[in-house]
Each structure stands twice: as structure tokens, then as C-alpha cells.
Amino acid sequence: MDITPISASDTLPLRQAVLWPDHPPEVSQVKGDENALHFGIHNDGQLICTASLFWHDTTLRLRKFATAHSHQGQGLGSQMLTFLINKARELGATAFWFDARENALPFYEKHGFAPKGERFFKKDVAYRRMSREL
């Protein structure tokens, strides 16, 4: 499946359904969404995977990476993450980083990311900062 640019508003329903289903949709919005780069994978016209990149100086930050529950475990997340790493390199970013839920650390470590700093919490969910030099 192809990865294509999408709008910030296109990302919101999937972000909310996957990442924060018990919270109002506003929780899935990010300050700066209007200036970020948003990408999606569609299946039969339905958005099934989305991710957004935000510039921070010379680095790119991944935010709100979500794959529909019905399509998890099928390699879409790996496809998207590989695409994003390559896109970050193409754009000249010096590093790629994000805050990852602790239960997803093995997935990110498999893609060359390492944890930085201590565990922290967002809405009672444990996170670690992950990064990779480009």
C-alpha cells in the first residue's frame, strides 16, 4: 500500500480512535498540526495508518502515529516508520525522535531507536523518549 501526504484534519478520527478512544477528539490534536507533515496509508478509501512529523530546529519529531486496530500486526507500522525515516533523511533532518508508549519500545528498538531519559507519564500512560541519529 502506498503512503501519501494527507491533511491534519484527515488524521484526527484515526488518532482519536487508536490513541485516546476514551477522551474527546481535541486530545488528538497537536499544537502546530497546521505546519506539520502528515502521511497516511489507505485501504479501500479508508485511512488505516497515519503519522505526523514536526520540525524542531534541525530534527524531526514523530507524533500521533496510529494504525487502525483491525490492521495492526500486518507490517503497516514498519512500512510507515521506514518511510518516515527515509523522508527525514531526504529533508535533511539530523535526528528523528518521539515519545513512545512503553509497550511499543520493542517495535521501535527493532527499527534502530534507543530510549533516552527516564520514564514519564501522559494521562496515566507510561512513555519513554526514543531517538535515532540520521
Q: Does 134 have pLDDT greater than 90?
A: yes
> In this predicted structure, what is the pLDDT of residue 24?
85
Confidence category of residue 26, pLDDT binned at 50, 70, 90: confident
Residue 6 has pLDDT above 90, yes or no: yes
Among residues of the chain, what percentage have pLDDT more than 70? 100
Confidence of residue 28 (pLDDT cuts 50, 70, 90): confident
Predicted confidence (pLDDT) per residue in 76-130, tens digit: 999 999 999 999 999 999 999 999 999 999 999 999 999 999 999 988 899 999 9
Which residues have C-beta within 8 Å of that of residue 111, sequence separation ≥ 6? 78, 81, 82, 85, 132
Structural domains of the chain, ranges and CATH numbers in brackets: 3-133 (3.40.630.30)
Give the model's pLDDT for residue 20: 87
